[in-house]
Amino acid sequence: MKKPPLAGIRALELAEIWAGPFCGVLLGDMGAEVIKVEALQRIARGPIRPAPNTPGYPDYDPGARPWNRQGNFNATNRNKLGLTLDLTSEQGVDAFKRLVNISDIVFTNYAFGVMDRLGVGQEVLRKIKPDLIVLFTPGYGNTGPYKRHRSMGMAIDAMTGHSALRGYPDLDLSHNSLVHHPDAVAAVTATFAICAALHYRARTGKGQFIDMSQAEAFMPHLGEVFLENQMSGRRRERRGNSHPRMSPHGCYRCAGDDAWVAIAVRSRREWQSLCDVIGQPRLSADPRFASLDERIANRDALDAIIGEWTSRRDRHDISAQLQAAGVPAAPVLDCGADTYDDPHLQARQYFQLVTHADAGTYPMSGPVWSLLSQADDDTRLPNRHEPAPTLGEHNGLLLGDLLGYTSDTLRSLERANTIGTTPIQGADMGGVRRFAREQTASNR
């Protein structure tokens, strides 16, 4: 069987929430061995004792070990080995350094300075293994006046200017929905940077330190907005679902409870096709809508006509009719049964049944690519989808089998809470503990 592209690569992940962990997911999807390092003194798996019937857990049941059942964590940590280490202890740092010596990558999205305070900053890591690839990606990078600023995805969204672009022009910014797009962008960018560094190392034998700002990684996604401002001197106003060079362009209510369809018309041909589908072929010649500029100027009237037609029809039927006529359209799906039952996602096997020791068996989002070998047989490499590790699940494997720690040593580390499988009371991200003071990992 062909090996995936990153087979044989070992990465140590010290990361929380989404941006860092999803980078590890992508590396794991490509075949890397990703070791997720956590601590009993501080975990990012939700509260240790959540209330019953709490959203985010299978069947709204936190269970006896909620830290192993939390949905967000399990969705962003597949294909990893789980290790607990207290990096504020001498024994924990020693074990971590031993792992660094036999690894290829160390990456983290902890706040600036955390790794140095723990005694495993980039200079220490590079001395242990000179060809190591190290990526530190706090919210605003490792230099500059904002380097010590704490960040979450929503704060980065605001700092980049994206929040000011979202929403409707008649509503103020307090009505914006939560968006953590910068987290996902940071994860993909970090993965790309690490792969580029691996390629560089393969050619030169040299490691790299990658200084990455999550905010800067996101800003190229707003390129046209910056260009528009430079050329016109004007600030981009919020547009809701409208588009400056497409009309109609928006979401339209359909028959059913809170059912919607998205429609975008890019050309005169598509506009005529839309008119034919809705049974009003002469509408394309209506003076209010005959050209793009006129359709934009009379957007409200046009949206009312289309909305009246869509309101009496099923969103899937509307999408199928318009797609058959060459008009971009899609039903607006929710993140529940709509997406699980979508025939296209099912045909591509995007959702895969995954059995987790504590969370049970549920469909989970799978790898976002399918790798096809270009050998004579065009072998399709199987997608990896191992469940997210339970807390400290692979302590014995990694410390005992890999590093050679004896059973007595492992028991001693457990007694000292250097390793373990149950978090210390108060160890969730809101807990006030020594580890939380040292390891303020508030970057996403």
Q: Which CATH number fits domain 10-220+349-438: 3.40.50.970, 3.30.420.40, 3.40.50.10540, 4.10.320.10?
A: 3.40.50.10540
What are the residue ranges spanned by the domains of the chain?
10-220+349-438, 260-331
Average confidence score pLDDT of the chain = 90
Task: pLDDT tens for the chain, 444 residues: list them.
Answer: 578 899 999 999 999 999 999 999 999 999 999 999 999 999 899 999 999 999 999 999 999 999 999 999 999 999 999 999 999 999 999 999 999 999 999 999 999 999 999 999 999 999 999 999 999 999 999 999 989 988 887 888 888 888 888 888 888 888 887 778 889 999 999 999 999 999 999 999 999 999 999 999 998 888 888 888 888 888 888 888 889 899 999 999 999 999 999 999 999 999 999 999 999 999 999 999 999 999 999 999 999 999 999 999 999 999 999 999 999 999 999 887 889 889 998 898 888 899 999 999 999 988 887 777 665 555 666 677 899 999 999 999 999 999 999 999 999 999 999 999 999 987 766 433 344 344 433 344
Per-residue pLDDT of 367-422, as tens digits, reads: 887 777 665 555 666 677 899 999 999 999 999 999 999 999 999 999 999 999 99
Question: Which numeric CATH code is attached to 260-331?
Answer: 3.30.1540.10
Q: CA-CA distance, 283 to 274, in Å (whole number)?
A: 10
Q: What is the pLDDT of residues 15-54, one digit of tens each?
A: 999 999 999 999 999 999 999 999 999 989 999 999 999 9
